[in-house]
Structure 1
């Protein structure tokens, strides 16, 4: 399935439904496909993208369309990340913030032993959130400068 065929397929699915959740997933897929169409790829890269679109079996008729196409979009984004080093907007920010909060809770628990426990945890979460957002924004900016952002 070519990028244009996939784009047309999702446009037809979008017109054929009234569910907002389905339309949202279709719009996300269409956005990714539009951004890919505007990029310049080698012949091998185009063939690998088309092979991945074929392997997703998008034209099957699943019972739960929203869940099926969300999973397909996630697999396709992972494929783009692993093979072509292309990331979605805010990818590193989301990843870094979640890791920052996780490590912030651990750090806050350790700090909380010397002070009041809830104060230490809240301080750790805030610092982890701040540092994670800062690091993630820098990584996203670097990916954008390198041209690796969709």
Structure 2
């Protein structure tokens, strides 16, 4: 996997130190899994002006995931209410490309985004359960 664009001490240290105020209330209806064995990237949807690094995928840090959405952290500014494709790569190289929407953000040491999947993805939910080795929930 390519080296992350993030400074070395941002996301992991941030996650251990505090949760930003807009994210202290659990708005999700599914169980959140904390995983560090998956790669996650974003790509824009559409032809209109919305560019983060052209049409390239951008690598982001997965904070947690459920069958309905993800919480990610990055140092890149993204617009709220924008449709994007989220690509999730598992350790066995299985990939899921999921259409979704950036629904909220909180700015701190890093920018944290809540992303909602456009629809429930049963195959992803099954893969999450099948590959979960360490039970860490939030």
TM-score bracket for this pair, using the shorter chain length: under 0.3
Q: Which has the higher helix share?
A: 1
Q: Which has the higher strand share?
A: 2
Tell which has more relative contact order, 1 or 2 (C-alpha 8 A, sep 6+): 2
Please report the TM-score for the alignment, with normalisation by the length of structure 1.
Answer: 0.24
Please report the TM-score for the alignment, with normalisation by the length of structure 2.
Answer: 0.26
